[in-house]
Amino acid sequence: MDLQNQQRVKDAAEKFGAENVVVVLGSSDAEGAEIYAETVTNGDPTYAGPLAGAPLGLAVYHVFEPEIRQEADEAAWEEQISMMEMVLDTEKLGQAVKNMREQYAKYPL
Amino acid sequence: MSNVAVKGYAYCLNHVPELALHYGNTPYVERKTKGDSEFLKQLPGTLQRFDEALAYPANQAYIGGMDLNALEAHPQPWYAHRVEGASRFGKYGEIMPEDEFLGLLDMCDVFDLIWLEESFAARIREKLAAHPFMTPALLARLEKGHSPEEIRGEAEMHHALPLYFGEVPVGCVRQGHDVDECLEAYVLLENLACKAGGVLALLHLFKNAGIAPEDVDFVVECSEEAAGDMNQRGGGNFAKAVAEIAGCVNASGFDVRAFCAGPVNAMIAGASQVAAGARKNCVVLAGGAVPKLCMNSRDHVKKGLPSLEDCLGNFAVLLTPEDGVSPVMRLDALGKHTVAAGAAPQAITGALVWDPLQKLGLGFADVDKYAAELQIPEITVPAGAGNVPEANFKMIAALAVMKKQLEKAEMNEFVKQRGIPGFAHTQGHIPSGVPFVGHACDWINEGRIRRAMIIGKGSLFLARLTNLSDGASFLLEPPQAKKASVDSLTKEDVKALLLEALSDLAVSLGKREA
């Protein structure tokens, strides 16, 4: 996760309280999704950004996970996301994020 | 006129592992911020030798030394199954070694920014003299060189950056101004390398298209670099600077910028001028990007893989009026990602693929090959970016399913049939569709395909001016039979037609009298 985005997540957690922030990922790669999820829960694993050593424990989900999908407007989902559902391995992406969430998140939905 | 001929094309790589090691943005920033880190210690051992870069299958495909079908069938990983007997020259261009490229950098420098060490300069002069396209006029541009002390002094006292070959300094790039950040040595190295790459591709294009430098009317350049000073950071222009060195005395030019969508937009800008009759021989070209060298090397090093991002990519394409022989670029059905289209992948794919097809009454299956974002997967997959070309072809297939032109179960077959393997370096603008133009035109000429779509996509949001991305696309097709037009009739043609008509009249009058 790039340094600017780490800072934005950190700022949001400080401003609204970590228990009130949910991070929704749209990464197309499972390995990338896992690292992003780890960064916002257990801290930046590369120790390069503002979240290095900062285990925020945020609730983090991939947009394809059922908890998020069922919250989405059906028509918007169809228009914006349904094509990518056919392209990507949604299960693998969701599982990658879930693994990190179950290990490190302190504030599940 | 809505078609323009693609008359010639050239594709070259500059194998520059030491520029990558020192000035690729990832190692450069690491060195500046962390000093001699573990990553920097390991990186040199992961870079390819020149003979390895020559034999890397994707590199051969880029310069036209290998057919794309052969690349697809080649055992993977490609870095572990190199091509035996690989040549430096392919039918589209060449892979130039780093020492010669440093010489070319100096030949492209008109402000005495590049200094080469004198013995190195002499050695390179000999090597470049044997190059088929280095004319005496170009060779005369190579400087005699400077002493090692002068070069060291320039680096120590005036912020010059050393240039390395064989792990020793063999020259330097000097700053262009004391306080102007737009003219500091790093920026000038980036710009000169981009210019030199463009020159090399253009020299190959002259041969491939069978034209002389003075035949070129206009050059459109489409890299991602910015040439300018602190008062006009991206003032320009690379196009004319490249044309000057290559001897295109009758040409002018301008630059087009749109991140990775630059080349497709530049092709459209160049072709539109040709179609309008404003220019006849219009070249679209770009050199490579030094900062993008070794961009993903951190992941490659971490995973014990070779750092394959050691080549600058460049290309040049010649666009001319339709000639009835060369494949054509259609201008009546261009893909355009409008401001209102939205940023969702399906909106982008719809705008770039479906809209132009609909305009022509065509379906997804009427395009034999699609080409979008052709990055080499062995570079991007270990870095967590996935197989980018394959993802694009899957998106097109998925949209075809949504438009009820394909069954979901047929998606994989669609991708296999109508996609191509990624074979371009992660040089930003370089992979975006245009590397396939050469192969596509050859395949059209050979009757292997009838239609290809070239798609460019650019991440405009990286510049922090807009959250939008951009995209553009065009179709390549076989030439249409040349139609006789009033313009093409000569005086003799008119005379012959008149004589024929008068003779017919005489016969007819004779018959009436009889």
The per-residue pLDDT for B505 is: 67
Q: Best mutation site among B30, B346, B410 for testing chain A: the one with the most A CBs within 10 Å?
A: B346
Task: Lowest mean pLDDT of A7-11, B388-392, B492-496, name the range.
Answer: B492-496
First CA to last CA distance, chain A? 22
Interface of B with A in 359-388 (CB under 8 A): 384-386
Q: Which residues of B81-105 are buried (b: 16+ CB within 10 A; e: fewer)?
A: ebbeebebebebbbbbbbbbbbbbb
Judge whether B341 is closer than 8 Å to chain A, CB to CB: no
Tell me if B376 sits within 8 A of B426, measured CB to CB. Answer: yes
Tell me if B444 sits within 8 A of B327, measured CB to CB. Answer: yes
Question: Which residues lie below 8 Å from residue B356, measured CB to CB, with a gap of 6+?
Answer: B333, B334, B335, B453, B473, B474, B475
Question: Is the confidence at residue B503, as pLDDT, over 80?
Answer: no
Q: Looking at the complex, report in whole angstroms how far the Cα of residue A73 sits from the nearest Cα belonging to chain B.
A: 15
Provide the token pair at B304.
């014990």
Residue A70 lies in a domain: yes
Q: Best mutation site among A1, A34, A63, A83 for testing chain B: the one with the most B CBs within 10 Å?
A: A83
Q: Read off the amino acid at residue B75.
A: P
Question: Which residues lie below 8 Å from residue B36, measured CB to CB, with a gap of 6+?
Answer: none
Judge whether B226 is closer than 8 Å to chain A, CB to CB: no
Q: Read off the amino acid at residue B99.
A: D
Per-residue pLDDT tens for B42-70? 999 999 999 999 999 999 999 999 999 99
Do residue B399 and residue A32 have CB atoms under 8 angstroms apart? no
Size of interface A-B (CB pairs under 8 A): 43
Tell me if A90 sits within 8 A of A54, measured CB to CB. Answer: no
Residue A109 lies in a domain: no
Question: Is the confidence at residue B485, as pLDDT, over 80?
Answer: no
Do residue B385 and residue A32 have CB atoms under 8 angstroms apart? yes
Tell me if B195 sits within 8 A of B287, measured CB to CB. Answer: yes
Residue A68 lies in a domain: yes
Do residue A87 and residue B384 have CB atoms under 8 angstroms apart? no
Burial of B353 (0-12, 13-18, 19+ CB in 10 A): buried
The total number of structural domains that make up chain A: 1
Q: Containing H/E element for B9?
A: strand B3-15
Q: What's the pLDDT band for B498 if we cut at 50, 70, 90?
A: confident
Q: Looking at the complex, report in whole angstroms how far the Cα of residue B416 sits from the nearest Cα belonging to chain A.
A: 14
CA of B383: which chain A residue's CA is closest? A32
Q: Looking at the complex, report in whole angstroms how far the Cα of residue B49 sits from the nearest Cα belonging to chain A.
A: 30
Q: Torsion over CA of B256, B262, B264 and B270, rounded to 10 degrees?
A: 10
Question: Which residues lie below 8 Å from residue B91, measured CB to CB, with a gap of 6+?
Answer: B63, B64, B65, B208
Chain B residues inside the 8 Å CB shell of A82: 346, 402
User: DSSP states of B407-449 as a string?
Assistant: -GGGHHHHHHHH-----B-S-TTTTSSTHHHHHHHHHHHTTS-
Beta bridge partners of B179: none
Q: What's the pLDDT band for B100 if we cut at 50, 70, 90?
A: very high
Tell me the pLDDT of chain B averaged across its residues. Answer: 94
Q: Best mutation site among A44, A87, A90, A97 for testing chain B: the one with the most B CBs within 10 Å?
A: A87
Question: Is the confidence at residue B510, as pLDDT, over 70?
Answer: no
Mean per-residue pLDDT, B335-345: 93
Cα four-point dihedral sign B83, B86, B90, B93: positive
d(CA B284, CA B317): 5
Question: Which residues lie below 8 Å from residue B130, measured CB to CB, with a gap of 6+?
Answer: none
pLDDT > 70 in chain B, percent: 94
The per-residue pLDDT for B508 is: 61
| Cα angle, residue B109 at apex, residues B106 and B114 outer, rounded to 5° | 55
The per-residue pLDDT for A2 is: 86
Q: Looking at the complex, report in whole angstroms how far the Cα of residue B248 sits from the nearest Cα belonging to chain A.
A: 43
Range of the domain at A11: 3-104
- Give the one of A29, A81, A87 whose C-beta lies nearest to B385's C-beta: A29
Cα four-point dihedral sign B73, B357, B447, B440: negative
Q: What's the pLDDT band for A109 if we cut at 50, 70, 90?
A: confident
Q: What's the pLDDT band for B497 if we cut at 50, 70, 90?
A: low
Per-residue pLDDT tens for B422-467? 999 999 999 999 999 999 999 999 999 999 999 999 999 899 999 8
Chain B residues inside the 8 Å CB shell of A5: none
Q: What's the pLDDT band for B486 if we cut at 50, 70, 90?
A: very low
The per-residue pLDDT for B504 is: 61
Q: Looking at the complex, report in whole angstroms how far the Cα of residue B139 sits from the nearest Cα belonging to chain A.
A: 45
Residue A95 lies in a domain: yes
Do residue B342 and residue A84 have CB atoms under 8 angstroms apart? no
Question: Is the confidence at residue B300, as pLDDT, over 70?
Answer: yes
Do residue A84 and residue B395 have CB atoms under 8 angstroms apart? yes
Q: Best mutation site among A82, A86, A97 for testing chain B: the one with the most B CBs within 10 Å?
A: A86
Do residue A80 and residue B391 have CB atoms under 8 angstroms apart? no
Chain B residues inside the 8 Å CB shell of A32: 384-385
User: DSSP states of B20-73 as a string?
Assistant: HHHHSHHHHHHHHHHSS-HHHHHGGGGBPPHHHHHH-HHHHHHTTSS-HHHHHH
Q: Looking at the complex, report in whole angstroms how far the Cα of residue A38 sits from the nearest Cα belonging to chain B.
A: 14
For chain B, the domains span 328-486
Instruction: Tell me the C-alpha to C-alpha distance, in Å, between residue B384 and each of A32, B300, B460.
Output: 5, 11, 21
Q: Looking at the complex, report in whole angstroms how far the Cα of residue B379 sits from the nearest Cα belonging to chain A.
A: 14
Per-residue pLDDT tens for B201-256? 999 999 999 999 999 999 999 999 999 999 999 999 999 999 999 999 999 999 99
Judge whether B411 is closer than 8 Å to chain A, CB to CB: yes
Provide the token pair at A49.
């950004």
d(CA B196, CA B111): 14
Q: What are the helix and strand counts (H, E) for chain A?
A: 6, 2
Q: Looking at the complex, report in whole angstroms how far the Cα of residue A3 sits from the nearest Cα belonging to chain B.
A: 14
Q: Looking at the complex, report in whole angstroms how far the Cα of residue B343 sits from the nearest Cα belonging to chain A.
A: 9
Per-residue pLDDT tens for B17-27? 999 999 999 99
Provide the token pair at B276.
């309008």
- Give the one of A35, A82, A84 whose C-beta lies nearest to B384's C-beta: A35
Q: Looking at the complex, report in whole angstroms how far the Cα of residue A2 sits from the nearest Cα belonging to chain B.
A: 12
Do residue A80 and residue B346 have CB atoms under 8 angstroms apart? yes
Residue B336: φ, ψ to 5°: -135, 125
- Give the one of A28, A29, A87 whose C-beta lies nearest to B398's C-beta: A87
The per-residue pLDDT for B483 is: 45
Judge whether B48 is closer than 8 Å to chain A, CB to CB: no
Q: Read off the amino acid at residue B211.
A: I
The per-residue pLDDT for B500 is: 62
Do residue A79 and residue B398 have CB atoms under 8 angstroms apart? no
Mean per-residue pLDDT, A69-97: 95
Do residue A29 and residue B344 have CB atoms under 8 angstroms apart? no
Protein fold of B328-486: Peroxisomal Thiolase; Chain A, domain 1 (3.40.47)
CA of A88: which chain B residue's CA is closest? B391
Instruction: Tell me the C-alpha to C-alpha distance, in Å, between residue B430 and each of A87, B293, B305, B459, B507.
Output: 25, 13, 23, 14, 65
The per-residue pLDDT for A47 is: 87
Do residue B344 and residue A35 have CB atoms under 8 angstroms apart? no
Q: How many CB atoms lie within 10 A of CB A18?
A: 19
User: Among residues B231, B237, B295, which one has the least CA distance to residue B43?
Assistant: B295
SS3 B169: strand
Question: Is the confidence at residue B490, as pLDDT, over 80?
Answer: no
User: Among residues B85, B79, B162, B101, which one has the least CA distance to residue B376?
Assistant: B79
Beta bridge partners of B6: B319
Provide the token pair at B329.
């670029």
Per-residue pLDDT tens for A42-52? 999 988 899 99
SS3 B358: helix
Which spans in B210-344 are helix H? 238-246, 262-275, 297-302
Question: Is the confidence at residue B269, as pLDDT, over 70?
Answer: yes
- Give the one of A31, A81, A83 whose C-beta lies nearest to B395's C-beta: A83
The per-residue pLDDT for B502 is: 73
